[in-house]
Amino acid sequence: MLQVGFLDWDNFAPILRALWSSTKVAMIGLGIAICIGFVLGTLMSQAKIVERAIFPFAVTLQAIPILAIVPPFLLLVRNRSDVAGRGLRDHFAFPDHHEHPVRAAVG
């Protein structure tokens, strides 16, 4: 598996492309989260009523595992916009065995 998956460039190149794609999506998400967090943090520090309104939701979101949030989010996106939902489904879906050279070699 190591020889086929990582030492053969023809099989390793798709892995690197998928890694780059995932990294881009993660960095975009991080950037969005930083912007939203900065704005909400600033608003919460300046207005007590905003803090009292947002803080319970922030604490609740911290307690929920990320993996529990993904499926409802995908359903929400799929129902609102078919293009966005399809893009997210394609990004998170595992490819078929015949399309992925390492999985095809391993079985």
Residue 97 pLDDT class (50, 70, 90 cuts): very low
Per-residue pLDDT at 66:
84
Q: Is the pTM of this model over 0.85?
A: no
Question: Cβ(54)–Cβ(40) under 8 Å?
Answer: yes
How open is the CA angle 38-39-44, to the nearest 5 degrees?
A: 100
Per-residue pLDDT at 44:
95
